Amino acid sequence: MPRSRAQTLAALAFLALLAPAYLCGAETPPKRVLILHSFGQQVEPFRTVAEAFRTELSLRSPNPIAFYEGSLETARFSEGDIDRPFADYLRALSLNQPPDLVVPIGAPAFRFVERHREDLFSDISVLVAGIESRHLNGVDLGPHATAVTFSLDLLGFIEDILRMLPGTNRMSVVIGDSPLDRFWVEEMRQAWQPFNGRIEFTWFNDLTLAAMRQSVEAMPPHSAVVFALNDFNASGLPNEPGAVLDALTKATNAPIFGFFEPELGHGVVGGRLTDVRGLGVRSADMAMRILNGEPPESIPAYAAPPPVPQFDWTQLERWHIDASRLPPDSVIRNRQPSVWRVYRWRVVAAGALVALEAMLILLLMRNRERLQATRADLVKNQENVRLAARAARLGFWTLDLDRDHLWITDEGRELFGWDKTEPLGFGSFLATLRPEDREPTLRAVRRALDGGEDFEAEHLIVLKDGSERWMSTRGSAHQKGTEQPVTLSGVSMDITTRKQAVREAQDLRRELSHSARVSLLGQFTASLAHELGQPLGAIRRNADAAELFLKNTPPDLEEIRAILSDVHKDCERAAMVIDRLRTMLRRREIEIQPLVWSELVHEAVSIVRSDAQARGIMLEIETPLGLPRLMGDRVHVQQVLINLIANAMDAIDEDSMGDRRVTVSAHTENGNLECAVSDTGPGIPPHRLQAIFDPFVTTKPNGMGMGLPICQTIVETLGGRLWAENQARHGAIFRFSLPIAES
Amino acid sequence: MSQPLVHVVDDDASFLKALTRLLGAAGFTVRHYPSAAEFLSHRPHDTPGCVLADLRMPELTGLDLQKALAESADPLPVVFLSGHGDIPSTVRAMKQGAEDFLTKQAPKEVLLAAVERALERDARERLERTRKKDLITRLSALTLREREVLGLVVQGKLNKQIADLLGIHERTVKLHRTAITTKLEVHSVAELTRLVQEAGLLP
């Protein structure tokens, strides 16, 4: 059965391949070349040799060439009688028209030709294309024949593997069971004798593909696979180029080494791979010469040079083989960077595109993140605003005038003392105001509506329970187009604590200025005693006189009446001094009113006059005529004046250079009344002109350093300014300005 | 001798008027002035009296007044009046020879007594001043040589010694002494020495 099947196959293959070859025919009869394959046409490495040969010969020949191909399918099983039917066919073919050249590829084909030299190819030229040199050892090629040979370096093969993977101690040889395979098993055993003991060889020649796959799947460490199979699997499945190698490559856990270049890229690591294509090309070269009439025996056989070591980069990577361990002059194929070299611009473009897309994606993601963050911020902000509004006691509101609807936050309702659900309108707001505040508030709102501008008001509200609360309300009117504004919106804030703080500060300031006044007047007790002593003395003397007059007979009533009148006057005078003193010493609110400068000065000076006299200091009052009235608080302005005069006199006592004089003057300046107190003392060091207004800065042994700061506070409270200068010659001059009263 | 005048000086018109009124009622002849300057320029000269002055006055104070008065040829005792007494002024006033220092509200009796005392002192000092003036007039009648002799006489020198010192005859010395006693209207050397001392001619 196997026999008849093989014959049929061979015949079918032959006939099938004859048909396309005829198509190449032309007027001149084409040269006929019979290619004899050792196994099948698709079996490597012979397939590549034949293909290269055909292609090269077709390209080089000026005339068309008719190729006939036949495969010795039988060579797989045995040699000898089994090839007779195939020989018969060939003979039948040759009788009709014998081929010009017979090209056996591989040892089995060559043997077939050798066997049938007499009966089939007696006068026909023979070119053996691609035969391992071992097969020709002691063999005569015969007449009209030449050959292209190659040599497998079996010893070097193992040495190379050990060089790359020094620890390798186990090798499985994938090989078939044909006569050729058996030949090679024997050759290898012989050649690898030196490695016995170091390497354990396992031969897969009797295994099915499945068994081989299982074996290579479970290779122990430090193993290697030697791929020496002509591309058939032992179980005889239909041959597909590279099928066995590919299957093993997928399964193996050890590196695979092979012998022929076509295997590179199909899973072998590499090695000294025979350039089978080169054999085909060289054969075509020689065939051309034979077809051109050169006798084959005159052409010496060609032996291919030892192959260059070649390796597959991906396999080197896979098995972690360091490139430095490769044989010298090795060529690495399939290197990844070559992709870069080949597809440089496409890679660049693709890379750019990828980068662009990545950027776009990144941007979108960032955007999305930002959006989310913004949304989170917004929520947080809302929460913050709510918290801040609560903490600051703020109420936001909007008033729709068309519908008379007041919207206000819960905090706002709380501030105004409204229930959470109570419907509100403008009237609700007005109702919280004190009756006297309603009209001015209405006016302010109306002004804001008319002008479309902002308004701001501080107002007291009366809550339902009768308690009072100070509020600050700010708002603005919103227009719809050019129409009259229809909504007002704004914010109301509880400023009760601020108002209280302001009041407390005012109280404190009043207290401070009061105690400063008391201590100031304390400096003038002697002076005041004198002021009071004058009228009291006069009263006493008048009383004494009256007594004497009463003793006269008759009493001088006229004189006594005059005396009584004078006593009255002096009593009033004394009372005035005491009044003035009491006013100065009293705690009081600031009361701003129009004041006449000369009166102010006169009263102030009356307190210090006597002291000045005692200290031998001249007090000059310069009052220009027609001076307008000023706005201020009588006592406080006098306090400032007395303080400045007292300071001036102290300065004179320090050093006066003989001239002891204090001048109090006033004039109008830029719509203010500018008052000046100058002295003939030593003046103020320029660097201290500012510092003297700081609290606790003093040059006096008993001074507190509070006089000038308090004076400054008083003047500023009255809307003026107080400062110090030095006079051109000597002495200091203190100036303060106060607003002029509107006439 | 004319009636003594009590000068009242005060810048406070009301007090000035009341005091003038009281002193008038008490029988004094009173002149009043609103300031020290006014008093110094308008007071009558060679008239006995005293001054009641406010210590604190603008421009010229009581102390200034006292000083100016003391330096004049016709001084008057000063009684100071003050709304209230302050020690430094008081001490200064008394050092400068103030007759008294009173507060303006001092009892009437104290005030009037002070005025009396001041007037008495003025009278006494005035007499003294007159005597001295008279003496100086008489001394000025002596010749140069007579003054030389007088100087040596009051030093207790004998006629013989004086004659030797001046290089003149002892009898001439006697003649000079007679002329001196005649011109000065003295009768003894003791009286002569006292006079010369009073006139301030002797150290």
List of long-range contacts for B69-72, beta carbons under 8 Å, 24+ apart: B69/B40, B70/B96, B70/B97
Whether residue A19 has pLDDT greater than 50: no
The residue in chain B having the minimum alpha-carbon distance to the alpha carbon of residue A609 is B58
Tell me which residue of A417, A384, A412 sits closest to A396, measured CA to CA: A412
| ipTM (interface predicted TM) | 0.77
Tokens of A28: 């001149």
Q: What is the pLDDT of residues A338-355, one digit of tens each?
A: 556 667 778 788 888 888
Q: Which one of A534, A610, A614 has the shortest CB-CB distance to B15? A: A534
Whether B156 and chain A come into contact, CB under 8 Å, resolves to: no
Say if residues A454 and A448 touch (Cβ distance below 8 Å).
yes
Whether B83 and chain A come into contact, CB under 8 Å, resolves to: yes
Whether residue B85 has pLDDT greater than 70: no
Please name the amino acid found at residue A585: L
Q: Phi/psi of residue A72, each to 5°?
A: -90, 75
Tokens of A194: 């030196």
Cis peptide before A45 (omega within 30 of 0): yes
Count chain A–chain B contacts defined by CB atoms under 8 A.
89
Whether residue A221 has pLDDT greater than 90: no
Instruction: Test B83 with A614 for CB contact under 8 angstroms.
Output: no
Among A541, A548, A550, A561, pick the best mutation site for testing chain B contact (most B Cβ within 10 A): A541
Tokens of A732: 């200091």
Q: Phi/psi of residue A149, each to 5°?
A: -120, 160
Minimum mean pLDDT range among A230-239, A526-535, B58-67: A230-239
Q: Which one of B57, B83, B111 has the shortest CB-CB distance to A533? A: B83
Instruction: Test A526 with B103 for CB contact under 8 angstroms.
Output: no
β-pairing, A732-739 vs A721-726, is antiparallel
Q: Above pLDDT 90, what percent of chain A?
A: 11
Q: Which one of A547, A549, A566 has the shortest CB-CB distance to B18? A: A566
Whether residue B146 has pLDDT greater than 90: no
Q: What is the mean pLDDT of chain A?
A: 82
Whether B13 and chain A come into contact, CB under 8 Å, resolves to: no
Q: In what order do the strands lie in the sheet with B5-9?
A: B29-33, B5-9, B49-54, B78-82, B100-103
Query: Chain A closest CA to B92's CA: distance in Å?
Result: 13
**A453: number of Cβ within 10 Å:** 11
Say if residues A130 and A106 touch (Cβ distance below 8 Å).
yes
The residue in chain B having the minimum alpha-carbon distance to the alpha carbon of residue A610 is B56
Cβ contacts (< 8 Å) between A563 and chain B: which residues?
18, 21
Of residues B49 and A67, which shows the higher confidence score? B49
The residue in chain A having the minimum alpha-carbon distance to the alpha carbon of residue B86 is A526
Tell me which residue of A731, A736, A743 sits closest to A721, measured CA to CA: A736
Residues 6+ apart with CB under 8 A from B119: B4, B6, B48, B49, B50, B77
Tell me how far apart the alpha carbons of residues A634 and A664 are, in angstroms, rounded to a whole number.
17
pTM for the whole thing? Answer: 0.46
Cβ contacts (< 8 Å) between A616 and chain B: which residues?
61
Residues 6+ apart with CB under 8 A from A358: none
Instruction: Test B61 with A616 for CB contact under 8 angstroms.
Output: yes
Say if residues B60 and B35 touch (Cβ distance below 8 Å).
yes
Residues 6+ apart with CB under 8 A from A555: A549
Q: Which one of B21, B82, B105 has the shortest CB-CB distance to A545? A: B21
Tell me which residue of A661, A599, A588, A663 sits closest to A629, measured CA to CA: A599
**Roughly what angle, to the nearest 10 degrees, separates helices A179-191 and A154-164?**
60
Tell me which residue of A68, A90, A69, A85 sits closest to A22, measured CA to CA: A68
Strand partners, A378: none
Whether B91 and chain A come into contact, CB under 8 Å, resolves to: no
Cβ contacts (< 8 Å) between A536 and chain B: which residues?
104-105
Longest dimension (CA), chain B: 73
Check residue A701 and give its pLDDT. Answer: 65
Whether B34 and chain A come into contact, CB under 8 Å, resolves to: no
Q: What is the pLDDT of residues A166-214, one digit of tens each?
A: 888 888 888 877 778 888 888 888 888 888 888 888 888 777 777 888 8
**Roughly what angle, to the nearest 10 degrees, separates helices A707-717 and A634-654?**
150
Whether B105 and chain A come into contact, CB under 8 Å, resolves to: yes
Q: Which residues of A touch B (CB under 8 A)?
A: 526, 529-542, 544-545, 547-549, 559, 563, 566, 569-570, 573, 610, 613-614, 616, 618
Tell me how far apart the alpha carbons of residues A107 and A182 are, in angstroms, rounded to a whole number.
13
The residue in chain B having the minimum alpha-carbon distance to the alpha carbon of residue A555 is B25
Tell me how far apart the alpha carbons of residues A579 and A589 are, in angstroms, rounded to a whole number.
17
Question: Of the spans A40-54, A84-98, A508-522, A557-571, which averages the highest pLDDT?
Answer: A557-571
Among A544, A547, A572, pick the best mutation site for testing chain B contact (most B Cβ within 10 A): A544
Check residue B199 and give its pLDDT. Answer: 67
Tell me how far apart the alpha carbons of residues B163 and B155 are, in angstroms, rounded to a whole number.
14
Q: What is the mean pLDDT of residues A713-742?
A: 90
Say if residues A525 and A518 touch (Cβ distance below 8 Å).
no
- Cα of first residue to Cα of last residue in chain A, in angstroms, is 146
Instruction: Test A542 with B22 for CB contact under 8 angstroms.
Output: yes
Among A524, A525, A531, A534, pick the best mutation site for testing chain B contact (most B Cβ within 10 A): A534
Whether residue A14 has pLDDT greater than 80: no
| pLDDT band at residue A26 using 50, 70 and 90 as cut-offs | very low
Residues 6+ apart with CB under 8 A from A285: A56, A60
Check residue A485 and give its pLDDT. Answer: 62
Tell me how far apart the alpha carbons of residues A652 and A658 are, in angstroms, rounded to a whole number.
9
Instruction: Test A529 with B83 for CB contact under 8 angstroms.
Output: yes
Three-class DSSP category at A469 = strand
Tell me which residue of A112, A88, A107, A104 sits closest to A37, measured CA to CA: A104
How far is CA A39 from each of CA A110, A158, A525, rounded to the nearest angstrom? Answer: 12, 27, 145
Instruction: Test A533 with B104 for CB contact under 8 angstroms.
Output: yes
Instruction: Test A537 with B105 for CB contact under 8 angstroms.
Output: yes
Tell me how far apart the alpha carbons of residues B166 and B130 are, in angstroms, rounded to a whole number.
34
Check residue A82 and give its pLDDT. Answer: 65
Whether B15 and chain A come into contact, CB under 8 Å, resolves to: yes
Q: Which one of B19, B58, B59 has the shortest CB-CB distance to A541? A: B19
Tell me how far apart the alpha carbons of residues A626 and A428 are, in angstroms, rounded to a whole number.
54
Whether residue B160 has pLDDT greater than 80: yes
Q: What is the mean pLDDT of residues A222-233?
A: 74
| pLDDT band at residue A25 using 50, 70 and 90 as cut-offs | very low
Among B8, B17, B55, pick the best mutation site for testing chain A contact (most A Cβ within 10 A): B17
CA atoms within 13 A on the CB side of A73: 18
Tokens of B94: 């008394």
